[in-house]
């Protein structure tokens, strides 16, 4: 059971990045996948989630209108398209598997975590 996050990098404010989370070793269709981020000295926070089964999405208020989550069940991959990036979006971004169906912002409701990918937005 594994999640592999990728796609981070250094970008100027106003730029875009697309993160990918590739899953393996479990029935991808049966689990919601969330994106979290953690900046230095701050707690890990939920950014977005795409539920499965069913189709519902969650975004933290600070990224609404700028970030878009999507998933490709055929590729066992969830994406996070991040546009209009701001310096305050800088963090390590993690993807995680939800234990149950639906989405949650509670970290304890996710049981498998990817290794994280660094996003740095310069001003």
Measured at the CA of 107, the angle between CA 102 and CA 109, to 5 degrees, comes to 45
pLDDT at 54 over 80: no
pLDDT digits (tens, 9 = 90+) for 57-79: 899 999 999 999 999 999 999 99
pLDDT at 99 over 90: no
The residues, ordered by sequence, that sit 6+ positions from 49 with a Cβ below 8 Å of its Cβ are 32, 33, 34, 35, 57, 58, 69, 98, 103, 104, 105
Percent of the chain whose pLDDT exceeds 90: 91
Q: For CA atoms 100, 79, 69, 58, give the dihedral sign.
A: positive
The stretch 10-17 carries a mean pLDDT of 98
Tell me what pLDDT residue 122 has. Answer: 97
């Amino acid at each position: 059971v594994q999640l592999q996050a990728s796609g981070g990098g250094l970008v100027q404010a106003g730029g875009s990045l697309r993160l990918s989370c590739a899953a393996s070793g479990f029935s991808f269709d049966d689990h919601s996948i969330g994106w979290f981020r953690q900046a230095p000295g701050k707690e890990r926070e939920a950014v977005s989630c795409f539920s499965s089964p069913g189709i519902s999405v969650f975004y933290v208020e600070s990224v609404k209108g700028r970030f878009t989550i999507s998933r490709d069940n055929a590729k066992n991959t969830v994406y996070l398209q991040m546009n209009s990036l701001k310096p305050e979006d800088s963090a390590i971004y993690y993807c995680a598997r939800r234990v149950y169906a639906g989405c949650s912002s509670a970290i304890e409701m996710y049981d498998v975590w990817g290794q994280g990918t660094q996003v740095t937005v310069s001003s």
